[in-house]
Amino acid sequence: MLIGEVMTEAVVTASPDASVHEVAGLMREHNVGSVVLVSGDGRPVGFITDRDIVLSVVAQARPHTERAAEHASSPVIRAEPDMEVEEATQRMVRHGVRRLVVVSGGSVVGVVTLDDLSSRGLEPELASRVTRAALPEYFFHARGG
């Protein structure tokens, strides 16, 4: 199965100079948890999630007027529409991410997430490897007494 068959094509984008507040508003307006930051020529230059905003802006009481690029992941971890799902999954594991920006001809054409892959038949073992690679180690330690 190819990434182009499972990716989400409706991608919300913003300028890297947009404020965190503007990006959060786009997330609310479009009911998404991430925004791809793109340069003037459409190339992806950053990727910011609602979690990024909570951890690096809200939790640290930083101004919501700061540039989104200051809180985004960069460089952007990419996939291509003709990439096999297995290869994309390996890329997620290697980079410790749960999302890949899908690029064709230098421009953003979609986003593929672990949820996209899991809901379309990704082997549970592979999904588990991606999740483990993308989460901080403390999620996997025993808790309590």
Q: What is the pTM of this model?
A: 0.80
pLDDT in tens, 73-117: 889 999 999 999 889 888 988 888 889 999 999 899 999 988 777
Considering only CA atoms, which of 141, 132, 139, 138 is closest in space to residue 114?
132
In the structure encoding, which two tokens stand for residue 21, read together?
């507040």
> Regarding the domain with residue range 3-140, which homologous superfamily does it belong to in the CATH classification?
CBS-domain (3.10.580.10)
Position 20: which residue type?
V
What does the domain layout of the chain look like in residue ranges?
Answer: 3-140
3-state SS class at 103: strand
